Amino acid sequence: MTNTQVTHIQIDNYGPWTVTPEPRREVDLQTLQSRLYADLSQLFGNRDGYVFFTRFDNMVAISNGIGIEAHECIQESISNRYPVTMSLGVATGRSPVNALGTATELLQEAGSAQDKHRREILKGRPIDDEFRTDEDVQVAHFDVDNATEKYTDQLNEFDTFINIEQGYAELMQYMRRAHDSLSFFVGGDNIIALCPDLDRDAYRDAVDHVKEAVDVQLKVGVGRGASASDAGMDAKHALEECRAASKTVELDL
Amino acid sequence: MTNTQVTHIQIDNYGPWTVTPEPRREVDLQTLQSRLYADLSQLFGNRDGYVFFTRFDNMVAISNGIGIEAHECIQESISNRYPVTMSLGVATGRSPVNALGTATELLQEAGSAQDKHRREILKGRPIDDEFRTDEDVQVAHFDVDNATEKYTDQLNEFDTFINIEQGYAELMQYMRRAHDSLSFFVGGDNIIALCPDLDRDAYRDAVDHVKEAVDVQLKVGVGRGASASDAGMDAKHALEECRAASKTVELDL
Amino acid sequence: MTNTQVTHIQIDNYGPWTVTPEPRREVDLQTLQSRLYADLSQLFGNRDGYVFFTRFDNMVAISNGIGIEAHECIQESISNRYPVTMSLGVATGRSPVNALGTATELLQEAGSAQDKHRREILKGRPIDDEFRTDEDVQVAHFDVDNATEKYTDQLNEFDTFINIEQGYAELMQYMRRAHDSLSFFVGGDNIIALCPDLDRDAYRDAVDHVKEAVDVQLKVGVGRGASASDAGMDAKHALEECRAASKTVELDL
Amino acid sequence: MTNTQVTHIQIDNYGPWTVTPEPRREVDLQTLQSRLYADLSQLFGNRDGYVFFTRFDNMVAISNGIGIEAHECIQESISNRYPVTMSLGVATGRSPVNALGTATELLQEAGSAQDKHRREILKGRPIDDEFRTDEDVQVAHFDVDNATEKYTDQLNEFDTFINIEQGYAELMQYMRRAHDSLSFFVGGDNIIALCPDLDRDAYRDAVDHVKEAVDVQLKVGVGRGASASDAGMDAKHALEECRAASKTVELDL
Ligand SMILES: Nc1nc2c(ncn2[C@@H]2O[C@H](COP(=O)(O)OP(=O)(O)OP(=O)(O)O)[C@@H](O)[C@H]2O)c(=O)[nH]1
Ligand SMILES: Nc1nc2c(ncn2[C@@H]2O[C@H](COP(=O)(O)OP(=O)(O)OP(=O)(O)O)[C@@H](O)[C@H]2O)c(=O)[nH]1
Ligand SMILES: Nc1nc2c(ncn2[C@@H]2O[C@H](COP(=O)(O)OP(=O)(O)OP(=O)(O)O)[C@@H](O)[C@H]2O)c(=O)[nH]1
Ligand SMILES: Nc1nc2c(ncn2[C@@H]2O[C@H](COP(=O)(O)OP(=O)(O)OP(=O)(O)O)[C@@H](O)[C@H]2O)c(=O)[nH]1
Ligand SMILES: [Ca+2]
Ligand SMILES: [Ca+2]
Ligand SMILES: [Ca+2]
Ligand SMILES: [Ca+2]
């Protein structure tokens, strides 16, 4: 059984900051946002977590193995280096969706995302070390078949992007609805999903659904581990196995 | 009349690199991709351009005012600092879609995105300075009304994201189909579109379409200028005018 | 008694790379070097280590508590994100100078810094966890008295720099010679020294020496701990105590 | 005749910030400082300037060709992305030392570096475009002969560093005193000097002086141009010519 720990990362009162006193240069905002994400990727990644950029002002991390003290340290490191601060909600659950629901609520209870007096909240309960197991995190790494040949080398880049985006939008909504999973676009034609304890049929079902709904052919490798990095690396190897053996679903559990 | 110059940025042979000799750590890939984007944002931004992350391995820039020599300099600066190189296609057109179509073709003609012998292509023709005008670039900055109150402070972050994403997916496809425009998600609840010479009715039509199709209420500020940064900053001021006066569409042309 | 673990970090074959095929733009080299240092600071820092930039192509880290696997991970993370690779030598010793001597030898035995076939060496023996103690690392944080009033607000920036630099050069050589310590400039008017088990008199002696030799008045806070970050933070608090109580030497051991 | 434009960059009220409310983690300060420097290198570098890290809280740029508006833009970009702000003094002169003297005075007149009410000063007069010439900037690129064989591959890294540092300290002070030049360590065994209109004899004199004083053998390539990047690249090519032809001084004027 999975036991997912997620962290909801929210930049404090960011909307007003972007336009005070005047709208700030978009290229600087883009630089700020993508570097903040890069830094969080390293800060969580060095502790075996994964971060997804989601909307950039709100991000989601798989944080199994990362305690409250490490969260504090990450929060402080960002405030030492950026003009903005961030709040963190940490929660766990059998299903990733429930875990995130609780994590978000912790922030919402502390005040609005645009409450200028709510700053650097850190709330929640990580999993105690003694209760962690090698089955806590299940990660699926989805990839579009032959994206280069079918899209990138054929269409203009925006139309390629529309195809990939449709595949992602369909998968992301279906996995949320049918399988309580959180799916994130990670660049190129790749999507990483944080899942509960799903079996081969569930993944096949999802891949079939996307193929039928928007005619995008996916394959998927699935891994499991005590942390995001363990589960995620297994998923990558399983995906390579899909490539090598022309399979659509490969589980490395 | 607009005269848009776009640059298609493509990391060379990136897919194979990510899995050679073994799949590389996802957090490092995320860091690499988002920093590359941040650096390109600054490299183009310091020359009044905008870059959009699109799929991260393929990016799109509005590059009016940026000549071939500056493109060369940007290409070299990246290869001096990253383990990957990138190819650039530059083209112009009355419509952004056509411009991008040409830019992408320049790369495709030089070889596949995953051809390991195709490296650091730089092809295309920027607009000569004497032909540049203050009407060359039209940028629309879309934003979701009250996203904080309606979504961020109410739903779990993933469900908020689904709503924003649906708004984006609908707008992006509609603007492409109906108005030859390229729309890019830039974080939070914001979308920036690169447009041909559209009028107020076109923007109202797009906002109405999204509202009907997926029940997401947008507002939009539109700007125009000789470069992305001029047009984009005007668009931001127009959007602030929407906020101040509770308007849905504001053109600052 | 201290038991210092140091890591010698050396970019592989960097000199030739900077001029192949043509000399590379200096601003890109500066960006590359300072970002590499920033990333190493975070990679070691997230594991309670300190890194000093030294010559940028060769850096020195205090790495108590950081095992071989973590070193591997750091080495891989850099090669995933930079156009250059680096070799690492890890060693321990009662005196920092001896530890570094061994660490450097491990690299030298594996080949020249400019041997193009020597890449990503990782050699050495970290301290086993069971042998680590709270007295392993001793760090001294030196600071120039009243640098702002005496120099920054009076002289042109270069002449200020000459004064600070003379203080640093004198201290660094004296601490090396008289007290087997490694002293690194960390910006502003601050110097951090990695020391063996020195007492108050040794620090007073060093401060007096610098005052006499080049007329720069220092103060110093000293800390001790199982890791660089513990010892270093104690040293900072001790230095604040110097400021508060107008002392010249403060030990927090 | 040279006509050097320099910019003195000073982080506002940085000392107090580093210890408020508590001393901040050193690794975060190091990351902040080196990234700020990397960003300034790019911001000035994209406009053909050079920046030297000097003390990190105070930096010096060669800014020929960079007007007040571009300085404003750089200042704003940093304040959009960092928790600290910076002040800029811009001045010109036949001699680099005089130019810097004036630039620093502009900041000093506006208040102390640690005056908490003095923020984001921007003062000074860049050279008007019509008065710029190809002889404005003279840059010398010094390098230690055979540093790898003589030091890096022989001594422990700290003792190598002491040797390089002594060469630098001697050169820097001598060039300041005897030749009104500003010399900056740029990593490895390289030093870049910003010079007035010096001839071959002056450089030979400086190299000889360092050899006699501290027994470090330098070579030097010298370039000239309308901007730092032009002069600096010429200097690099001249240095390569020294390498190829075993010369000690090479001028490419
Ligand atoms: N985030 C992430 N992106 C990846 C990874 N591997 C590949 N990609 C992205 O996927 C893009 C396409 O590469 P591939 O999937 O290898 O190419 P393809 O043409 O679809 O080929 P097949 O998937 O083998 O059918 C690349 O440009 C990358 O952006 C990965 O491990 N992580
Ligand atoms: N890229 C970008 N994102 C922005 C900008 N302004 C706001 N955002 C994003 O939009 C998010 C929501 O902020 P707002 O749009 O101000 O909030 P809101 O609740 O929707 O309020 P209204 O738009 O005023 O109705 C912020 O967290 C940012 O991520 C901008 O100029 N550029
Ligand atoms: N690396 C580092 N640099 C620091 C730290 N604290 C201060 N500095 C640097 O030191 C410079 C001078 O600041 P202070 O030492 O506070 O100023 P001062 O005028 O010398 O005042 P006193 O030291 O209190 O006499 C700052 O601009 C920083 O560059 C620190 O903790 N770490
Ligand atoms: N900033 C900077 N540093 C450089 C440059 N070229 C070399 N270096 C540094 O100098 C170090 C030593 O390289 P070299 O000078 O090529 O090596 P060497 O053994 O001294 O050989 P020779 O100078 O050819 O006698 C490198 O590790 C770099 O750190 C450059 O263009 N800019
Ligand atoms: Ca694929
Ligand atoms: Ca909004
Ligand atoms: Ca001081
Ligand atoms: Ca050399």
Cα–Cα nearest to B203, from B188, B223, B217, B220? B220
Provide the token pair at D222: 């010298």
CA of B252 to the centre of ligand 3 (A): 48
Give the per-residue pLDDT at A124.
98
Per-residue pLDDT tens for B11-34? Answer: 999 999 999 999 999 999 999 999
Cα–Cα nearest to C91, from C8, C192, C197? C8
Give the per-residue pLDDT at A253.
87
CB distance D31–C51 less than 8 Å?
no
CA distance C44 to chain A (A): 10
Per-residue pLDDT tens for D118-167? Answer: 999 999 999 999 999 999 999 999 999 999 999 999 999 999 999 999 99
Domain D4-131: what homologous superfamily? Answer: Nucleotide cyclase, GGDEF domain (3.30.70.1230)
Per-residue pLDDT tens for B195-234? Answer: 999 999 999 999 999 999 999 999 999 999 999 999 999 9
Query: E-assigned strands of B114-166?
Result: 122-124, 137-144
Q: What are phi and psi of B85, to 5 degrees?
A: -115, 170
Give the per-residue pLDDT at B65.
98
Q: pLDDT class for B72, splitting at 50, 70, 90?
A: very high
Per-residue pLDDT tens for A31-61? Answer: 999 999 999 999 999 999 999 999 999 999 9
Q: Tokens 């189909």 map to which residue?
A: B177
Topology agreement, domain D4-131 and domain D137-252: yes
What are the sequence ranges of the domains in chain D? Answer: 4-131, 137-252
- For residue D44, the Cα-to-chain-centroid distance in whole angstroms is 12
Q: pLDDT class for B57, splitting at 50, 70, 90?
A: very high
Cα–Cα nearest to D99, from D160, D8, D232? D8
What ipTM is given for this predicted complex? 0.97
Name chain D contacts of C148, Cβ cutoff 8 Å: 15, 112-114
Per-residue pLDDT tens for D157-182? Answer: 999 999 999 999 999 999 999 999 99
- For residue A193, the Cα-to-chain-centroid distance in whole angstroms is 7
The answer to whether B100 contacts chain D (CB < 8 Å) is no
Q: pLDDT class for D75, splitting at 50, 70, 90?
A: very high
| pLDDT at residue D7 greater than cutoff 90 | yes
Contact D215, D230 (CB under 8 A): no
Give the per-residue pLDDT at C253.
87
Give the per-residue pLDDT at C113.
98
Q: Which amino acid is at D72?
A: E
The answer to whether D76 contacts chain A (CB < 8 Å) is yes
The single-letter DSSP state of residue A66 is -
pLDDT above 70: percentage of residues in chain D: 100
The rounded mean pLDDT for chain B is 98
Cα–Cα nearest to B16, from B169, B118, B153, B151? B118
Per-residue pLDDT tens for B180-195? Answer: 999 999 999 999 999 9
Tell whether the torsion through CA atoms of D231, D232, D233 and D236 is positive or negative: positive
- For residue D50, the Cα-to-chain-centroid distance in whole angstroms is 7
Q: Whose CA is nearest to atom 11 of ligand 1?
A: A188
The rounded mean pLDDT for chain D is 98
DSSP letters spanning chain D: ---EEEEEEEETTHHHHHTSSSPPPHHHHHHHHHHHHHHHHHHHHTTT-EEE-TTSSEEEEE-TT--HHHHHHHHHHHHTTSSS-EEEEEEEESSHHHHHHHHHHHHHHH--TT-TT--S-EEE-PPPGGG--TTSEEEEEEEETTHIIIIITTS-HHHHHHHHHHHHHHHHHHHHHHH--EEEE-STTEEEEEESS--HHHHHHHHHHHHHHH---EEEEEEEESSHHHHHHHHHHHHHHHHHHT-SEEEE-
Average pLDDT score over residue span B83-111: 98
The rounded mean pLDDT for chain A is 98
Q: What angle do CA A171, A175, A179 make, to 5 degrees?
A: 160
Burial of B109 (0-12, 13-18, 19+ CB in 10 A): exposed
CA distance A138 to chain C (A): 23
Q: Could you say which of A44, A114, A152 has the minimum Cβ distance to residue B113?
A: A152
Q: pLDDT class for D253, splitting at 50, 70, 90?
A: confident
| pLDDT at residue D71 greater than cutoff 90 | yes
Best residue in A43, A81, A82 for a mutation probing chain D (most D CBs within 10 Å): A81
Q: Report, as ranges of residue numbers, the positions in chain C whose pLDDT lies below 70.
A: none
Shortest CA distance from A35: residue in chain D: D81
Provide the token pair at B64: 């009016």
Name chain C contacts of B28, Cβ cutoff 8 Å: 76-77, 80-81
Name chain B contacts of A37, Cβ cutoff 8 Å: 30, 34
Separation CA D131–CA D3 (nearest Å)? 9
Give the per-residue pLDDT at B253.
87
The ligand placed nearest to the CA atom of residue A141 is 1
Before C126, cis peptide (omega within 30)? no
One digit per residue, pLDDT tens: chain A, 253 residues?
999 999 999 999 999 999 999 999 999 999 999 999 999 999 999 999 999 999 999 999 999 999 999 999 999 999 999 999 999 999 999 999 999 999 999 999 999 999 999 999 999 999 999 999 999 999 999 999 999 999 999 999 999 999 999 999 999 999 999 999 999 999 999 999 999 999 999 999 999 999 999 999 999 999 999 999 999 999 999 999 999 999 999 999 8
Domain B137-252: what homologous superfamily? Answer: Reverse transcriptase/Diguanylate cyclase domain (3.30.70.270)
Provide the token pair at B150: 């309606």
Q: Could you say which of D32, D35, D77 has the minimum Cβ distance to residue A28?
A: D77
